[in-house]
Amino acid sequence: MIKTRVTDLFGLKYPIMQGGMHRVSTAELVSAVANAGALGFLTALTQPTPEDLRKEIERTQSLTDQIFGVNLTILPALEPPPYEEYAEVIVESGIKVVETAGRSPEPFMPAFEAAGVKVVHKCTSVRHAKKAEKVGCAAVIVDGFEAAGHPGEDDIGSLVLLPRAVDELEVPVVACGGFSDGRGLVAALALGAEAVSMGTRFLCTREAPVHDQVKQRLVEASELDTQLILRKFRNTARVFKNSVSEQVAQIEKLPESEFADIAPLVSGARGAVVLETGDLEHGIWWAGVSAGLVHDIPTVAELIERIVADAERIITTRLGGLTS
């Protein structure tokens, strides 16, 4: 049994989290993660309206009696979604843990704190991690350069980012970016983390509501199959390499190119088609370098049990055997 401050904080069986994944973190996946003893997060913005989020939370509650959370990704937008209303629904639905990302959760802290909702902020730098602690987050997730999604602009891998954050913070730190198996969990714990959070690995489970061809492609993929795009616009994204991401990268290289030139290519609507239909070249879809460590499509429960059993074996047998 691996017990940490994070398992204590949220009453978890295992120190494992499933990061919020737009269009993937729905009731099916999140309830499976919760029932397997880990902590899953629905993505608020996958639901078109706050009322839809309320229904998705209810649907998840009907599938599990274990704790689960909601991810609130706060991104700059010309017409931002009604974040406050999504936050209200989270509080009213009795959710007790929120994963925030994108921006500091500071504006939302008073409402969450008043309702006893613990905020776990996900960020990509030590300075943002310190800010998250300062504004009252219960734990901080540090997303290394390996991660799917937005790994930030500093390009610091988990091997350094994680212990740097652990050295600077009092609150528990969760490792994220590049983790997928028992070896990764042990490494994260050795570096001072109190849990791991994974995205790409959970995308490739039976319960993830995406087309089987997406999962098969991840199984075939190596660690060389992701690509960084949008660096020019300081909004770096790690995505699965395909003809669309190559096209974006080519346009970005042109000195005169602007975001408007690539906006149609990176649209969320096109990415959604990939996940729904399995047409892998239809748009941009997110994946991390841990794709190179994904070799099968287990159920969530099989995956979590395997990670924990492997980790315990590594700690007791392999590492224990190295000391005299």
Part in contact with ligand FMN (CB under 6 A); list of ranges 55-63, 130-138, 174-182, 229-237: 174-182
Part in contact with ligand FMN (CB under 6 A); list of ranges 20-28, 47-55, 57-65, 250-258: 20-28
Part in contact with ligand FMN (CB under 6 A); list of ranges 60-68, 177-185, 215-223, 294-302: 177-185
Per CB under 6 A, 288 contacts ligand FMN: yes
Report the residue number, 286 or 318, with the smaller CB distance to ligand FMN.
Answer: 286
Residues 100-129 binding ligand FMN (CB under 6 A) are 101, 122
Per CB under 6 A, 71 contacts ligand FMN: yes
* 68 burial type by CB count under 10 A (0-12 exposed, 13-18 middle, 19+ buried): buried
Report the residue number, 160 or 319, with the smaller CB distance to ligand FMN.
Answer: 160
Distance CA 66, CA 156 (A): 34
Report the residue number, 12 or 144, with the smaller CB distance to ligand FMN.
Answer: 144
263-269: Cβ within 8 A, 24+ apart: 266/229, 266/230, 266/237, 268/22
Taking CA atoms, 71 is separated from 42, 228, 249, 264, 322, in Å, by 6, 23, 29, 26, 40
Report the residue number, 128 or 201, with the smaller CB distance to ligand FMN.
Answer: 201
Per CB under 6 A, 22 contacts ligand FMN: yes
- Sole residue written with tokens 């699965």: 240
Distance CA 241, CA 267 (A): 16
Degrees (nearest 5) of the Cα angle 211, 214, 220? 145
Task: Name the minimum Å distance from CB 272 to ligand FMN.
Answer: 11
Distance CA 183, CA 185 (A): 5
Among 15, 69, 81, 149, binds ligand FMN (CB under 6 A): 149
Per CB under 6 A, 56 contacts ligand FMN: no
Distance CA 204, CA 218 (A): 7
Per CB under 6 A, 24 contacts ligand FMN: yes
Per CB under 6 A, 174 contacts ligand FMN: no
Nearest to 286 by CA among 300, 298, 275: 275
Residue 127 near residue 169 (C-beta atoms within 8 A): no
Per CB under 6 A, 290 contacts ligand FMN: yes
Distance CA 44, CA 210 (A): 18
Per CB under 6 A, 73 contacts ligand FMN: yes
Per CB under 6 A, 178 contacts ligand FMN: yes
Taking CA atoms, 70 is separated from 218, 302, 308, in Å, by 25, 23, 24
Residue nearest to ligand FMN (CB): 199
Task: Name the minimum Å distance from CB 59 to ligand FMN.
Answer: 19
Report the residue number, 257 or 297, with the smaller CB distance to ligand FMN.
Answer: 297
Per CB under 6 A, 21 contacts ligand FMN: yes
CA 4 vs. chain centroid, Å, equals 20
Per CB under 6 A, 199 contacts ligand FMN: yes
How many CA atoms are closer than 13 Å to the CA of 75, on its beta-carbon side?
Answer: 12
Per CB under 6 A, 98 contacts ligand FMN: no
3-class DSSP state for residue 265?
Answer: coil
Task: Name the minimum Å distance from CB 117 to ligand FMN.
Answer: 17
Among 147, 195, 274, 304, binds ligand FMN (CB under 6 A): 147
**Torsion angle of alpha carbons 120, 154, 73, 241, nearest 10°?**
-120
- List interacting residues with ligand FMN (CB under 6 A): 19-22, 24, 43, 71, 73, 101, 122, 143, 146-149, 176-179, 198-201, 203, 286-288, 290
